[in-house]
Structure formats: C-alpha cells, structure tokens
Amino acid sequence: MASPSGIRAGQAFVELFADDSRLVRGLNAAAKRLKVWGQSVTAAGQKMLTAGMAAVGGLLGSAKVFASMGDTMAKASQRTGIGVERLSELAYAAEQSGADLTTLEAGVRRMQKAIAEAVGGSESAQEALANLGLSIRQLAGLSPDRQFMLIADRLAQIADPTLRAAAALDLFGRSGTQLLPMIAGGAAGIEVLSRRARELGLVMATDDAEAAVVLGDLVSDLWKTVKMGVFVIGSALAPVVTDFVQRALGVIRSVTDWIKANKAVVVTVFKVAAAAVASGAALVALGGVLSALGFVFGTLASVVAGVGTALGVIGAVVGAILSPVGLVIAALASLGGYLLYVSGAGQQALSWLGQQFAALRDTALAAWKGISDALAAGDIGLAARILWLTLKMEWQKGVAWLTDKWIGFKEAFMAVATEAVYGTAKILTSAWAGLQTAWVETVAFMSKAWTTFTHHLVTGWRTAQNWIAKKFVQLMAMFDESVDAEAAMRILDEDFTREQRQRDRATQQQLRDIEATRHAKRQAIDEEERGTLDALEEERERRHVERRRQYDADLKAAEDAVAEAKRQWQEALGEAARKRAEIPQTAGPERVKAIGDLEGFDFEGLARRSVSVTGTFNPLVAAGLGTGGPLERAARAGEETAKNTRKLVQQAQHGGLVFA
C-alpha cells in the first residue's frame, strides 16, 4: 500500500510535468511569433532599402546632371566672356535652331578673333565688318553677347542667301553656316527664343553654375582617389600575380615543348577529331536527305492520288461523251451497208436509231442522206468527210455544253473566293487602322497626363520654395529691423504669380500642341484607311470584270467552234446534194430508198426479234453491255462495212470500180 509521502511525490511530479509542457508550448508559440515578426521587419527593411536606394540613385543622377551641365556652361562662359545667364539663353536659341552650345561657342570665339584682327589693322577683317555696315568703333564698347546680337541682326538683313552665308563664314568661321537658322530672324528672333527660355525656367544662374563646377571638381577628385586606391590594391597584389604568371608561363612552355616533340600524336588527334566532325556532319546531312525524300515521296503519293482521281473523273466524262459517238459510228457503218444494198440492215438500223436517238435523228438522217448523195455521185472522199464533220459537230456541241457548265461552276467559285480574299483584306485594313488609332489616342492621353502632372509638380515645388523664402524673410526680420518683411514677401508673391501665369500658359500651349498632333495623326490614319479600302474595292471590281470577260470569251469560242463545224457540215451536205443532182438518172445506180419508201415495213416485229431489252437510253450503260447483243452485231457489221469500203476505194484508185 502506498504511503502518503509517496502519493504527494507522485502528485508533485505530475504537476511539474504539466507545467513544463505548458512552458514548452508557450516558448514555441513565442518563437513562431518572433520569427514572423522578424520576417515582416526584414521585408519592411528590404522595401525601405529599395526605396531609399532608388531615391538616392535618382538624386545622385540629378546631382551628376547638375554638375555636368553647370560645369559645361560655366567653363563656356569663361571662354567666351558671356555671362552664364545670357549664354544659357543663347544656347537654348541655338539648340532650337538646330545647333548646340559647342557650335555657338566656336562661332563667338571666331567672331571675337575677327574683331581683334580688325582692331589690329587687318584689312580683310575690317572689310568683312564693313560689308555689314559696321565699324570697329561701333563694336569696341559692347559686350560679346551684344556684339553677337548686332552682327546677327546685320547678317539677317542680307537678302542674298549666298552673300549671307559668305559673310557668316567670314565672321563666325565654319560654325557660321550652322548658326544661319539661329540668326535668320535677326536680334529680334534670338530675343524671342531667349524670352522663351526664361519663361520655361531654362536659364542657369551664375551661382548654380559655380556650385556645379565645385561639385564636378569634387566628384573628379573622388574618382581620382578611387582609382588611386585601386592602383594601390594592384600594387599590393603585383608580387603574387607576377609569381602566378611566371608559373603559368612555365606550364605553357612545358606543354609547348611536349607538343613539338610529339607532333605525330597531335596530328593523329586532329585527324580523329576531324573524322568525328565529318561523320557527324554526314549523319546530319543524311538525316536531312532522308527527311526530304520522305517529304517528297509523301507529296508524290498525294499528287498521284489526286491525278488518279482526276483521271477517273475525266474518264467517266469522256466515256459518257464517246459512248453515243461510238454508237453513231456503228450505226453509220450499218447504214453504209444498207446504202450499198448489201442487206436490209439499214432499214432496221434506221428504225432502231429513230427510237433510241431521238435527239440525234435529224442530224443523223441529214448526214446519211449526204453520204448517200456523195456515194451516188461516186465521191467516197466527200462521204468520209461528211461522216467526219458530223462527228466533229457533235463533239463540238458536247464540248460547248461542258464548257458552259464548267464556266458556270468556276464563275460561282471564283466570285466567292474573290469576295472572301478582298473582304478579309478590308477587315485587316480596318483592324490595322483601329490599332493605329488606339496607339495615337494612348500616346496623346499619356502625354497630356504627363504634362499636367509635371505642371502641378513644378507648381507645388515653386509654392514650397516661395513659402520657405517668405518664412526665411520673416525670420530675418526678427533679427534685423532694417529688413522690410512685408515688401520682400510682396515681391516674392509677385514673382511667384508671374512665373505661375507663365507656367500655365506654357502648359496650355503644350496641351494644345498635343491635341493638334493627335488630330493630325488621326486624320492621316483615316485618309490612309479610306484610300486603301477604295483601292481594294477597285481591284475587287476589276478582278470580277476581267474574269467575266475571260469566261464570256471562252464560251463564245466554244459556240463559234460549234457554228464553224456546223457550217462546214452544211457546206459538205450541200456539195454532196449538188453533185448528185448533176448526175443523169441513167448514169448511176438505183436511187437510194427514202424514208417514205419504208412505210409498211414491220419495224416493231424486227425490233422484237432483234432486241431483247428495251428502255430509256443511257450511254454509260450502253458502253458496258454484254457481248452477243444487237450493239455488238452492229459493231461487227460496221467493221465489215469499213473493210468493204476500203476495198472499194482501192478499186476506184485503180479504175476498176464500175456501178451497174
């Protein structure tokens, strides 16, 4: 049994363990909070550091620009003898006229040299001044900037451009021609640009320029000190680097000696490397060739498949056209046997053709009559020509029909294609114009926003400066009773108000210029869009007109071919009829039976005995009928007739053909 002391000891252990667990959890929670806090503090510090570095970088950049511009202006002022304020005004005028401060300084220094030479008695210099109506006395007591203004005013009065350029070269040297746009308006024009520089706050003060010189010199000293520090570091490292270079030279020398002693090994390595390169290049080329061949074979397969399909369609069309033509030839050959009275198959063929070829009956009968007339007249060549012209005429009719259908389909397809192409071009043109317009509007908006922002920024900065200046005047008045604080603050306010009005006018003018530029660009974009759309519309209409004209010409050519074939056929028929009419009734064979002489002949019975299938004619089906039918028998009869006709022609050529 446990003792009371043991129970109290166990209780104490449990309490201590529980307290320790709560302590550990509290420490872990505190560690997490401190970690999160540390991360947030670090992030804030990084952001502050980034912002500070950006601000410091911008300010240092501003200081560098200040030092550079001020140093340049101050030293140019020292070289020319023109004050910094006046020189900055003239520099602005030169830059607005296409020159710069360097050109202006060179021109002023050459002018001063010419005036000094004229004072020293130089006749050429005095003559150059006299050409402008000036004398040494007029220029002697003037400052360099006033001398420049006076000479510029006299140069502007020279009407001849050649003489004006020559005078500028005499007085300003090679810079004279570059300064001509600046002095074109004379002293008044330069003064306008100078006033504009003052209004924009572009005039540099002498104190600022001198401060910039001091800052520039300090920066230069700092840079020289840094470079000297780098030099000292280099001098300290020189022994170590020298030792390393000497060791490297020794290693390189050893490698060079080994290469000289083992040239064969180097050549072998080079050959192996070259072989590897050549093999790799060959494998790359072979892979390219195989890929190209695969592409070519694939393309050829596609082409062959397309050609096979096209030939199948053409074969079907030609079969549809030639099937009735072959039947007509067989029927005409059978008619030739009838006309020669070899058998009575001509009557049967005439009856069968009259039933099956209602559309060709009139033409066939006329052709058969012409052939019979030619044979009765003894002109086998004319009979053959009538047969050929009949086939040619029917062929031309089929071609004309196909041409008409093909042109109709092609016209519909090409019309849709043309509309699609030029419609797409118009859409793209409008889209491009829309993009250009959006860009112009965006640039104009950003320009206006930036102009307004800078105006308010400068206004705020000037307001702060004016407030600080007035407070400084009040502070001075507290220590010096002679300072008239009210008058000084009134002058400061008047200056601030005047400058503010100038800034407002300048800002409004910039906004008007931006709006004018935006309007001009929008107008140019709209005109370009309209011109492009009009050109596309004209081209589209021209394509339609040319295509229809070409289609009409093709259709007319097919119709003319039909008309020409029909004319030749009719002339051949007329010639055969005329020749037959010229033969006496007793001089030729018995008259060929006319269609009216066949009345009473049992055509229907003959058809039932000879034709096993009746129905509507289909040329594609007729072309594939089995052997042993009436068509095959007609074809064999045609072949026999053709052989007999060839024998008759040969006998006629030898004079052995006699008609009883």
Q: What are 590-633's pLDDT values in tens digits?
A: 444 444 444 444 444 443 443 333 334 344 334 444 444 444 55
Rg, Å, the chain Cα set: 56
| Six-digit token string for 345 | 């198959």
> What's the pLDDT tens digit per position in 376-434?
888 888 888 888 888 888 888 888 888 888 888 888 888 888 888 888 888 888 889 88
Residues sharing a CB contact under 8 Å with residue 71, sequence separation 6 or more, in sequence order: 209, 212, 213, 216
- 52 falls in which pLDDT band (50, 70, 90)? confident
Return the H-helix or E-strand segment holding 231: helix 206-261
Please check the confidence at residue 474 and state whether its pLDDT lies above 50.
yes
386 vs 335: CA distance, rounded Å: 14
Q: What are phi and psi of 590, to 5 degrees?
A: -65, 145
For residue 436, CA distances in Å to 71, 207, 422, 424, 520 come to 44, 48, 21, 18, 13
Please check the confidence at residue 5 and state whether its pLDDT lies above 70.
no
Angle at 172 between CA 169 and CA 178, to 5 degrees: 75
528 vs 74: CA distance, rounded Å: 51
Please check the confidence at residue 514 and state whether its pLDDT lies above 90.
yes
Long-range contacts of 41-50 (CB under 8 A, 24+ apart): none
574 vs 583: CA distance, rounded Å: 15
pTM score of the predicted model: 0.34
pLDDT in the model for residue 622: 41
pLDDT in the model for residue 309: 54
425 vs 127: CA distance, rounded Å: 69
Dihedral sign computed on CA atoms, order 342, 348, 351, 355: negative
Q: Scanning the structure block, which residue is given the tokens 């003037």?
A: 142
- 186 falls in which pLDDT band (50, 70, 90)? confident
> What's the pLDDT tens digit per position in 277-296?
766 776 676 566 556 555 64
Q: What are phi and psi of 484, to 5 degrees?
A: -85, 95
DSSP, residue by residue, 25-86: HHHHHHHHHHHHHHHHHHHHHHHHHHHHHHHHHHHHHHHHHHHHHHHHHHHHHHHH---HHH
pLDDT in the model for residue 518: 92
Which range, of 127-141, 155-169, 235-249, 526-540, averages the lowest pLDDT? 235-249
For the chain, how many residues are written? 660
226 vs 218: CA distance, rounded Å: 12
The DSSP call for residue 616 is -
> What's the pLDDT tens digit per position in 313-334?
444 444 444 454 444 444 444 4
Residues sharing a CB contact under 8 Å with residue 601, sequence separation 6 or more, in sequence order: 347, 351
Q: How many helices (H) and strands (E) does the chain have?
A: 18, 0
pLDDT in the model for residue 283: 63
Nearest to 200 by CA among 465, 510, 447, 502: 502
Four-CA torsion 485, 490, 491, 494, nearest 10 degrees:
160
- 13 falls in which pLDDT band (50, 70, 90)? very low
186 vs 153: CA distance, rounded Å: 4
- 525 falls in which pLDDT band (50, 70, 90)? very high
Residues sharing a CB contact under 8 Å with residue 47, sequence separation 6 or more, in sequence order: none
pLDDT in the model for residue 507: 92
CB–CB of 489/476 below 8 Å?
no
